[in-house]
Amino acid sequence: MTSILLLPVYFLLVLSLFYFLTKNKIIDLSFKHAAAIFTIKLILGCIYGYLFLKFYNGDDTWLYHRQSLQEYQTLSHHPWQFIKALFSHSYDKSQAITFFDTTNNYWKDLQYNILIKLLAVFNILSSGNYYINVLFFNLLTFWGHYFFYKLFINYFPQKRATAFVIIFLFLPFIFWESGIRKDGLAFIGLSGCLFYFVEYSEHKRIDHLVKAALYFALLVLVRNFVALSLIPVLLAFWSCKYFKAQALYIFSIYTLSFAALFFLSSLGPNAFNLPQKMAERQEAFQHLEGGSYMFVPQLVGTFSSYTNVLPYAINHTFFRPYITEGKSPLLLFAAVETAFILIVIIAALVQIKKLKTITKHPLLMLLLFLALINYLMIGYTVPFAGAIVRYRIFFEVMLLLPMFIICDSHNTLENWLNKRLHLYSY
C-alpha cells in the first residue's frame, strides 16, 4: 500500500524530465503541452487498469502484471537466468522457421516475454505496484505519439494544431495506447520506424537508418504482420523520390505487387506460406471466448477463401461495432467512435475535387495505404469487435489525418484550434 505513495514522487520526476526536454528544445513541444499530454495518458492508463480489473476480471493487462511479479523474483535472485530466458525455449523442434506460426512458437511467446520482463524491471522502482508501472509504461509510449506527431508536422506545419488534437488528445486513441499491453510497444516500434525512415529519406544520415532498423526490429518482435505490412509502403515512399508519377499510382503498384507475393508464398515451404499462416491466426482467434464475437467464414489459405471473406473483413473493421451492438460501456464508446470515423471519411470522399491534395503526397499515401492494409488484415483474422477496436486504433488515426486535410482545406478548424491551444514551433 505504501508503494502507491511513490506515484506522485515519480510523477514529479517525469515532469522534471519534460521540463528539461522542452526548456532545451529537445522536443518540439512546450512544457505546458508535454505535461498535459503525459498527465492525460497517465490518468487514462490508470482508468484502463481499474476498469479491466473491476469489470473484466483483470483481462490480459493484469495477467501480465502478475506474471511480471514472478519475473521480478527471478530478476532479484537469479538475474542471469532472467536474461537467459529471453534467448531459450523448451520446444522440441527448431524455432528457426516458426516465425509466422500461431502455436508452439518461440517468437510469438517472445512478444509477451518482452513486455513481462519490461514490467519486471519497472517493479524494481515501483515495488510491484500496477499503477506506478502504468506511469513508467506511458513514459515510453509517449514517444510513440511524439514520433508520429513530429513525422506529420515536419511535412504539414500548417496543420500543427489538428495533428496535436488527433495524435495527443483523441480519447479513444489515448485510452487504448495508455493501457499496459503489447499495443503500446508496437506503436513505439511503428512510429519510430516511420519517423526515422522518412528522416533518412530526406537527409541520408546513417544514424537515422540505424534507428529506423532498430524500431522496425522491435515491431517485428511484437507484431510481425504489422512489420510485414510496412515493407511495401516504405519502398513505395522511397520510390516516390525517383518517379514523377502520382504517389497514388506508385503506392497502388507496390501494394498490389506485395499482395501478389503474399499469395504466391503459398507455393513455397509451409513455414513461409503467408495465406495459410494468416488462416491459422484466424482459427486461433476463433477458439477464444468473448462477448463481442462476430461471425466470419473460415479462411483456408486459398485466394478464393480470401475473396469470400473480404466483405466480412471490410464490414468488421470499418463499420463494427454498430450502435445497436453497444451492450457494454466500452463497446458503446467504440460504436460512437466508429460512427465518427465514418462521418469524417464520408465528408472527405464527397469532396472529390480535393482528393488530389492527398493522392499526390507520398507521406499521406503512406499513412492511408498502411492503414487500409492493416484494416483488412485485422478484419480477416480477428472476429471480436472489442479486440478489433483496440488493434485498429492507431491505423484509425492514420486515416483521420489525411481526411481532415481534405475537410479543412481552408484551415478553418486549424485556426480555431490554434487560438485555443496556442501552439507554435519551439
pLDDT at 86: 81
| 113 shares its domain with 210 | yes
CA–CA distance, 349 with 345 (Å, rounded to integer): 6
Same structural domain for residues 264 and 201? no
Same-domain pairing of 278 and 163: no
Residue 163 lies in a domain: yes
Shared domain for 21 and 152, answered yes or no, is yes
Whole-Å CA distances, 264 to 37, 258, 282: 45, 9, 20
Measure the CA–CA gap between 366 and 354, rounded to whole angstroms.
Answer: 18
The answer to whether position 371 is within a domain reads yes
Q: What is the value of pTM for the model shown?
A: 0.93
Q: According to the model, what pLDDT value does residue 406 have? A: 93
Q: Which of 147, 131, 143, 157 minimizes the C-alpha distance to 43?
A: 131
Beta bridge partners, 293, equal: 384
Examine the domain organization and report whether 218 and 93 are in the same domain: yes
Per-position b or e across 409-424, b if 16+ CB within 10 A of its CB: eeeeebeebbeebebe
Structural domain containing residue 195: 7-222
* 50 plus 173 within the same structural domain: yes
Total domain count, the chain: 2
**387: its cell numbers:** 479486440
Domain termination residue (choose one: 163, 194, 222): 222
- Among 191, 222, 253, the domain boundary falls at 222
Instruction: Mark 257-271 as b/e (b = at least 16 C-beta within 10 Å).
Output: ebeeebeebbeeeee
What is the rounded CA–CA span in Å between residue 341 and residue 327? 20
Do 128 and 193 reside in the same domain of the chain? yes
Q: What are the grid coordinates assigned to 194, written together?
A: 516511420
Whether residues 265 and 194 share a domain: the answer is: no
pLDDT given for residue 93 in this prediction: 65
| CB contact at 8 A, 343 and 199 | no
Q: How far apart are CA 59 and CA 411, in angstroms?
A: 42
Asked if the structure places residue 236 within a domain, the reply is: no
69 and 170 inside one domain: yes
Q: Is residue 229 part of a domain?
A: no
- Is residue 47 domain-resident? yes
Angle between helical axes of 385-407 and 130-155 (0-180°, round to 10)? 30
Domain annotation covers residue 94: yes
Same domain as 277, residue 183? no
What's the residue count for the chain? 426
Looking at the fold, whether 246 and 173 belong to one and the same domain comes out as no
Q: What is the pLDDT of residue 57?
A: 83
Secondary-structure breakdown of the chain: helix, strand, coil percentages, each rounded to the nearest 5:
80, 0, 20
Best CA proximity match to 257, nearest among 373, 368, 99, 356:
373
Looking at residue 354, its pLDDT comes to: 83
Last residue of a domain, one of 222, 250, 282: 222
The pLDDT assigned to 326 comes to: 77
Residues 284 and 391 in one domain: yes
Q: Is residue 233 part of a domain?
A: no
pLDDT per residue as tens, the chain (426 positions): 556 788 999 999 999 999 999 999 999 999 999 999 999 999 999 999 999 999 888 788 999 999 999 999 999 988 898 888 888 767 666 666 666 777 777 777 888 889 999 999 999 999 999 999 999 999 999 999 999 999 999 999 999 999 999 999 999 999 999 999 999 999 999 999 999 999 999 988 999 999 999 999 999 999 989 999 999 999 999 999 888 778 999 999 999 999 999 999 998 888 889 999 999 899 988 888 777 889 999 999 899 999 999 999 999 999 999 988 877 888 899 999 999 999 999 999 898 788 888 899 999 999 999 999 999 999 999 999 989 999 999 999 999 999 999 999 889 999 999 998 888 655
CA 108 – CA 288 distance, rounded (Å): 17
Q: HSE on the CB side for 160, CA within 13 Å?
A: 16
Cβ atoms of 391 and 419 closer than 8 Å: no
Q: Is residue 228 part of a domain?
A: no
